[in-house]
Structure 1
């Protein structure tokens, strides 16, 4: 018999197909008819980031028809549940991402499929997206928020650590992606850790943390560890 205490656990609620609004961005359920043109320009246009697709299981897309079919397939699913990122300043779609591996019975949910145009990368908007999704996940009753990436994807690993996800280990030969081996780095944030992470996010996102040029005064990590 296990010595673990009983949790009296109640399953979490599945995320609903609804907008999530912040100061700088709004997350809208992916709608190819409304978001397709902006996303094509952000993700495949002249100012896009070719390295975006290096560790994805899909893309890049040389033809708009294939891109539209990919968007339509993503919009039709509920697990993963895809959101489009709307930059409020420009009122344009700048990327998309999803909840996935949603398991309400065990209180586990993941953020992934992150596809940002170059204009969204390394911005306050990009950080606010993760804050909004994490906040929503824990409000729904999840006790574990996951982040997984190719072990060679240094950008994604740095982002996970910056956002407050803890490294949990390496799954060797976890997948075959585009005919290449993928070792997967696993990260997670627990509900017990979220209050401190949330406070740091909210202090970091506050207008007074940015100077007139839009540069941060204190880093997210410093606010979380301070």
Structure 2
């Protein structure tokens, strides 16, 4: 496609005719086959989440998060009260439909309706959720909400550049690496270089098709093992 220029013969970006600011995400419930996403509610979710997080052998799941680990229910309850009241980040609980229990949380954050950019963050998955089909479906449901229902143009993932599992997950889910912001954050008394990833609306149709093919019953054998990877389905 030929580059656009203005009246001064300077290159300029693609036109966005009719663009209007997007709606802010709401405290909605999103239904999937394996999980349900709903706004964090302290009374409904605190006990289940604390139990699920306590199943971890140590506090290493909290190393790269801005808060935690929590060794007692009272401190966790206080944290969840603040999370539930927040508008940005807007926290959601992930409910395992099989058990009816909350097994993790994540949030939509750095919400920028004017430019159509939004981030998924504060991803706090318990051992009962990590590396399961349920966790993949949860990520898909929130992503679909941002792109298809709210009409955002850009969906971001950011993490500590040293957080190898988070960076691997971002790439698995279809986010593209955009670079390192050096000394971007101070947290827990230490410096953080932040790795940036994003999916944009042009990427979304291919990413969405891969998610839907991966989540389909035909992609799992009788033992529940997946047949094709997300990456292979995106390539296909």
TM-score by length of 2: 0.93
Aligned residue in 2 for 1:146 = 156
Once residues 48 and 38 of structure 1 are traced to their aligned partners in structure 2, the CA distance between those partners, rounded to angstroms, is 17
Contact 1:49 1:118 in 2 (8 A): no
- 2:45 is aligned with 1:39: no
Alignment length, in residue pairs? 225
Aligned residue in 1 for 2:184 = 174
Of structures 1 and 2, the larger Rg is shown by 2
* SS of equivalent residue, structure 2 residue 141: helix
TM-score by length of 1: 0.97
Summarize the alignment of residues 43-62 of structure 1 with structure 2, pairs less than 5 Å apart: 43=53, 45-47=54-56, 50-62=59-71
Segment of structure 1 superposing worse, 152-161 or 45-54 = 45-54
Residue from 86, 94, 97 that aligns with 1:77? 86
Aligned residue in 2 for 1:14 = 24
Contact 1:99 1:112 in 2 (8 A): yes
Task: Kindly state the Cα deviation for residue 47 of structure 1 after the two structures are TM-superposed.
Answer: 4.1
- 2:109 is aligned with 1:86: no
Contact 1:147 1:187 in 2 (8 A): yes
How large is the Cα RMSD of the aligned pairs? Answer: 1.1
Runs of at least 4 residues off by over 6 Å: none
Once residues 176 and 47 of structure 1 are traced to their aligned partners in structure 2, the CA distance between those partners, rounded to angstroms, is 26
Residue from 203, 207, 224 that aligns with 2:217? 207
Unaligned runs of 5+ in 2: 1-5
Unaligned runs of 5+ in 1: none
- 2:160 is aligned with 1:121: no
Once residues 133 and 40 of structure 1 are traced to their aligned partners in structure 2, the CA distance between those partners, rounded to angstroms, is 23
Contact 2:55 2:126 in 1 (8 A): no
Once residues 145 and 4 of structure 1 are traced to their aligned partners in structure 2, the CA distance between those partners, rounded to angstroms, is 19
Task: Kindly state the Cα deviation for residue 49 of structure 1 after the two structures are TM-superposed.
Answer: 5.6
